[in-house]
Structure 1
Amino acid sequence: MTGIRGRLRKVSCRLDAWQLARQSEAADREGERTERAGPPPSGFTLLPWLLMGLGSLANIFQGRTSNPWVGGAGLLVFNSLYIYVAFRSFDKETRESPSTRLALGAMALVTCGLALAYGGSWLLFFPLLGLAAGAALRGRWLGRWGWSLAVVAGVVGGVRDGWDGLNIAYATFLSTMVTAAILSLSDAVRQLRAAREELATRAVAEERLRFSRDLHDLLGHTLSVIVVKSEAARRLAPRDLNAALTQITDIESVGRQALTEVREAVTGYREGSLGTELDRARSALDAADVEAVVHRSGPPLPPQTEALLGWVVREAVTNVVRHSGASRCEIAVSGGADRVRLTVTDDGTGVAGPTQGPGTGLTGLTERLATAGGSLTAGVGPRGGFSVTAELPVREEERPVGAPA
């Protein structure tokens, strides 16, 4: 017994170290993701382009603009509207609000007025208008708005500067479409990164649930068997030393098997066998002085179905040994063409044991079987005692090769 406890302590230490390592790796990965993500784009991204209006500002101060007060007022209104639209274009709700669209329309009117009145460097406000429009009008109608702005810019530029208006039209269309494409791509990348982090978080949570569920089901049954066999060895030792040694040998075997199963559970490669679990159930019930009656019929089952039913047998028999006070336990497995049914009944007090939390015990088994399209019911049997019934579908493609349909 001392050797088994020592091994279990070693396993516990290894599990603690494994958990700490996993948490450290997760923290490192989270730090790397945060570092790569950077701050989200904002209206400040579009502000440097206002430097394109310095030529118009220089014309005002150098006296090349007629009615400089009107030009200065127009420049101030345009810049104010541009900043307003720019900072509201990086949130979907504010971007699609009527006030943003109204401000963008006012920008278009001011741009056309200033360009028609002064021409020259004032025509560069059209590409700035395209930047604001590309940021605010991302969506299915962007192409139409982009072409419309380009046509208006070309017409106004043609009226003021002749064929040079084509350059203004091209610059306006390019600024509109490129801005929308870059910002849409940035949004898509951030959404993909958020989805990836969400999936990673869910995967970690599912792995933790799987490990805690496997650990509960593995050690709960194994430790119950060890306790029962230890009590049997203690009772047998005074009168039958050979029988007591047999029980101790079984304890050693169960302990070694538990170590193997815990390692497999940690690595995620454990595959259960229904036949093996039925044999262990017989041994555990015999050691607890419970008569074991096992019936099995039907064709061979797929490995995944056998593994799930093995978990049910393990948990149900553990409850019989620990809580039922039964003298007889019957396990029946009946397989059909498309479904298999497992029933574990006893003649005990009809108690299932203490209620387990989510993911463990009968609750965890119900979740496992539901995921596989099956069901599990547990409760007091019609003739007293406690009954656990599990049903699972058997898909044709999962059957072992050579098994009858």
Structure 2
Amino acid sequence: MRPGPSAFYVWIAVAWFPAYDLLRQPSWVGALGLAVFAAAYLAAIRMAFGEGPAWAPLVVLAAVTFALGMAYGGKWLYLCPLVSMACGVVVRGRAVPYALAGVTVVSMLVTLRSGGGEDAVAAVAWGTFVAGVVVHVTLKLFEAREELARAAVLRERERFSRDLHDLLGHTLSLVVVKAEAVRRLATRDADAAARQAGDIEQIGRRALAEVRSAVAGYRGRGLADELAAARLALEEAGVRAEVMLEEARLSPDADALLGWAVREGVTNVIRHARATGCAITLRDEGERVLLEIANDGAAQAFTRGNGLKGLAERGAAVEARAEDGRFVLTVAVPK
């Protein structure tokens, strides 16, 4: 999940260091400044994750922080990285590097003005700049991840819609033709009309089973479950199944993608190949895993439907070829 404001609220604990100085040497000016600092920091973070303008509290935060650092120095300079963190949250776009560079330079000048030596200046500059960069890069990575997730969902919806179109387009057209035949024959030949109605019933049942299969595939299963289902489906279809697997450690994405490949490949063999045998082989090739589904039937088994296109869209390398009298589907997936 993308980090929310609470992930940045906790850093207000850094204010403990100057607060400890105030406990030893009380100062109402310092206490008031520290209170304004805390309020401005929390407001900037909250508004950055909300809908309000966060620039005003950010400017107040920077002004108060640098004024306190110049006046007191020492541990008060620990507050400078929080200004940079707030910039990393509030500022967007091309202004980010300029904002972080500006905060870092001012922090260095404040440290130097407050009596800090070269080591102190370097430490404050490093801490301030890195704090802002880490925050900004982290948020950008989460944004990119969310965008990729949305794109993946969109691609999956498109794939599912294509599969449903492939499944139902021809079937529904056939149902319409059969229904028209029933209407024409109903008053002239009751037996013929009944046969046509029986055909409609069989077509509907088959379409229902195919839709259920597509929906089950849309929910997704892992490689092991898909292999078990594929072996059973091949045996029920009268196709001799042979499965040879090498042990491979797979990521969840690779496991799901290989499961999808097994499902699509075996489904095409059963529907289109008219094969008597099907061999499924899995080999670990180091950085990738190679899945081969070979059948002794028709080559068209691996050229129909949109499922295999979806595999390529997901990042798998897909190839269908003839080899030694067999037709082989090869799917290579990064581990």
| TM tier, smaller | 0.5 to 0.7
> What is residue 263 of structure 1 aligned with on the other side?
206
Question: 2:174 aligned to 218, 221, 225, which one?
Answer: 218
Structure 1 counterpart of 2:56, from 102, 126, 135: 102
Q: Tell me which structure has the larger Cα radius of gyration.
A: 1
What is the CA–CA distance in structure 2 between the aligned matches of 1:108 and 1:257, rounded to whole Å? 75
Please tell me whether the aligned partners of residues 215 and 265 of structure 1 are also in contact (alpha carbons under 8 angstroms).
no
User: When the two structures are aligned, how many residues end up with a matched partner?
Assistant: 210
Within 5 Å, which residues of 2 pair with 1:3-402?
38=1, 40-63=2-25, 68-91=27-50, 93-94=51-52, 97=53, 100-159=54-113, 160-163=115-118, 164-201=120-157, 204=160, 214-234=170-190, 248=192, 252=195, 255-256=198-199, 259=202, 263=206, 267=210
For residues 81 and 257 of structure 1, what CA distance do their matches in structure 2 show? 71
Q: Is the 8 A contact 1:211 1:265 kept in 2?
A: no
Measure how far apart 1:73 and its partner are. Answer: 0.3
Q: Which moved more, 1:184-193 or 1:167-176?
A: 184-193
Report if the CA contact (8 A) 2:73-2:111 is conserved: yes
Query: Hey, what's the Cα distance between the residues in 2 that align with 1:135 and 1:107?
Result: 13
**Are the aligned partners of 2:175 and 2:200 in contact in 1 as well (CA < 8 Å)?**
no
CA contact (8 A) 2:37 2:64 kept: yes
Q: CA deviation at 1:171?
A: 0.6
SS of 1:161's partner is coil
Inter-partner Cα distance in structure 2 for 1:192 and 1:207 = 22
Q: Any idea what SS the aligned residue of 1:231 has?
A: coil
| CA offsets 1:303-341 (integer angstroms, 9 cap, x no match) | xxxxxxxxxxxxxxxxxxxxxxxxxxxxxxxxxxxxxxx
Within 1, Cα distance between the matches of 2:146 and 2:49?
A: 13
* Structure 1 residue 207, shift from structure 2 partner: 5.7
Shift of 1:109: 1.1
State the shift of 1:144 in Å. 1.3
CA distance in 1, matches of 2:49, 2:160: 32
**One-letter code aligned to 1:162:** G
Q: What amino acid is the match of 1:179? A: V
Q: Runs of 4+ in structure 1 displaced over 6 angstroms?
A: none
Measured in 1, the distance between the counterparts of 2:208 and 2:177 equals: 14
Q: RMSD between aligned alpha carbons?
A: 3.2
* Counterpart contact for 1:157–1:166, Cα < 8 Å: no
| Secondary structure of residue in 2 paired with 1:47 | helix
The answer on whether the counterparts of 1:81 and 1:107 sit within 8 Å (CA) in structure 2 is yes
Partners of 1:222 and 1:258 within 8 A in 2: no
- Distance in 2 between the 1:219 and 1:153 partners? 76
User: 1:232 corresponds to which letter in structure 2?
Assistant: R
Secondary structure of residue in 2 paired with 1:232: coil
Deviation digits for residues 117-147 of structure 1 (CA, Å, limit 9, x no counterpart): 1111100110011110110013111111111
Name the % identity. 22
Query: Does the Cα contact within 8 Å between 2:88 and 2:136 map onto a contact in 1?
Result: yes
For residue 201 of structure 1, report the CA deviation from its aligned partner. 4.8
Cα 1:145–1:106 change in 2 (3 A) is same
* Gapped regions of structure 1 (runs ≥ 5): 1-37, 235-246, 269-405
Displacement after TM superposition at 1:183 (Å): 1.1
Mapped partners of 2:180, 2:196: distance in 1:
14
- 2:19 and 2:188 mapped to 1: Cα distance? 98
TM-score by length of 1: 0.46
Give the equivalent residue in structure 1 for 2:299: none
Q: Counterparts of 2:137 and 2:16 in 1: how far apart (Å)?
A: 27
**Aligned 8 A contact 1:43 1:88 in 2:** no
Shift, 1:232, TM fit = 2.8
